[in-house]
Chains A and B, each alone.
Chain A
């Protein structure tokens, strides 16, 4: 997949800007606060209809304006695709080739990208919620029905939570809990299946990358822990009983204690939980391996590499990891957008450079 050009209108600190991008490595450089990250955010928004930094679109709008518009030309399987994301008067309009999309799930995943920033280091050291989000987002990009499955599951969760918090009698709480639990099991089972399938695929590719990045010295493994258990069959068969066993506790604590909304993806480094044992450098290698794994999985499913967006990560990597990453990008010819400050050393090889200053971008030759 390729991005050919991107047009921004009233997005963050951009008033109006249009730039052409080239295959291979594109580097956006400049001082801090000039709009490098905003540019990647715009591209990400254009591909997913969402921002990874804020929930409300209004915050993405240039100060004093009442909306923004993003347009991009892409190449997917030798075809030109135009994407447009527009936000105006609190409404979001997403278009593919000038045709409006009724649902977000019809739009997301048309052009794929893998985004990597220093904030992603939280994947290893942060809580399970970050890792679930990582899995869910990836599945949503490649399996169209997943978004609505996830929404239904969350709806059941909300209803069950409301029931637990209500001041109904214990007896009526119990009789109603039974039916919400039944739905929780049905939808939860599917959720677990999707996440475990992805984890297995990711395990294969990411551990391969990690082995190379660590020069064969270390071993990475990832395991999805459905309902805190080891395998799928066990989780599925004990799901109903776990819910029954925890009913009293759930009623007492007014919280839904059992279900995939509490699952974790455990990352192991040399058979020890990475969350507790990995050093700063190892964390970087682990996240890099997960992200490259994601790139490889999208390539396997879509038969084309996604765009790779690296926000300020080169400076976070040591010489060896940096070289490994760049070699991977060159050898698989993935179109990559990299942001870095002016002070940093540019990578060697064929690169296209763009200077970013105060919401304006200038190609440098």
Chain B
């Protein structure tokens, strides 16, 4: 898309939208035109973006997004404080919460180890994690099954085990309700590796 064909403010809007994940230049153009044709939607969107940016902070304990510090999870009396689940991003907390199965607390790392991008333990919330281990009996590593996710899980396991905490890793394998024949080879191989007794 040649941005020179558009007036400057419109071109700026398109390039800002195109910087969002999952949005290419064509979609960005379509969204920009839509917003211009729907002034109310545009204003509401602009305001909720600004408001979210202003109100949402990182929880000082778990680093999850919150409008109150500490966040609702960390304040709650009903969560099991012996269980701590470590995830990469705030959106992973939402995914785990949807299950309704997990009653413990969360810790958001804000990323994974990646020397290529200059991300080491100092860039993650590892220090905060070490400060909140009192009373925790089990730490669950729920990072994504990528090369970097595995490395981060291993790094934390090495750090936590000597402190006498039980460290576990979530299982990887076939999606529930999925068909074996549609799963890719790597997933099936992982599922075979992680098989269990019946």
A residues engaging B (CB < 8 A)? 103, 105, 144-145, 148-149, 152, 155-156, 158-160, 162-163, 166, 168, 172, 175-176, 178-180, 182-183
Do B147 and A145 touch (CB < 8 A)? Answer: no
Given A156-B147, A159-B148, A183-B151, A176-B184 contact (CB < 8 Å): no
> B150 in the interface, Cβ–Cβ < 8 Å?
yes
The answer on a CB contact under 8 Å between A168 and B120 is yes
Determine if A178 and B158 form an interchain contact, defined as CB atoms under 8 angstroms apart: yes
Kindly list chain B residues whose C-beta atoms are within 8 Å of the C-beta of A162: 115-116
Chain B residues whose C-beta falls within 8 Å of the C-beta of A152 in the assembled complex:
147
In the complex, chain B residues whose CB is within 8 Å of the CB of A176: 113, 115, 120-121, 155
- Tell me whether chain A's interface is mostly helix, strand or loop, or mixed: helix
List the A side residues contacting B184 at CB < 8 Å: 103
* In the complex, residue of chain A having the shortest beta-carbon distance to the beta carbon of B148: A159
* Chain B positions 48 through 66: 1 when the CB is less than 8 Å from some CB of chain A, otherwise 0: 0000000000000000000
Q: What 12 new A-B contacts, CB under 8 Å, besides A145-B189, A176-B155, A183-B147?
A: A105-B185, A159-B116, A159-B147, A160-B115, A166-B115, A166-B118, A176-B121, A178-B155, A179-B154, A179-B158, A182-B154, A183-B154
Bound form: Cα–Cα A176–B112 in Å: 12
Instruction: A261 to B114: give the CA distance in the assembly, Å.
Output: 20
Asked if A159 and B150 sit within 8 Å, CB to CB, the answer is: no
Interface set, chain B 137-154, CB cutoff 8 A to A: 147-148, 150-152, 154
Q: Is B186 an interface residue (CB 8 A)?
A: yes
Main secondary structure of the interface of B (DSSP, over half): helix
Nearest 9 A-B pairs (CB), nearest first? A163-B115, A162-B115, A145-B185, A179-B154, A162-B116, A155-B147, A179-B155, A179-B151, A144-B185
Tell me the B160-178 residues at the A interface (CB within 8 Å): none
List 8 A-B residue pairs with CB atoms under 8 Å apart, sorted by A's residue number: A103-B184, A159-B115, A166-B118, A168-B120, A178-B158, A179-B154, A179-B158, A183-B147
Smallest CB–CB gap between B65 and chain A, Å? Answer: 28
Contacts of B121 in A (CB 8 A): 172, 175-176
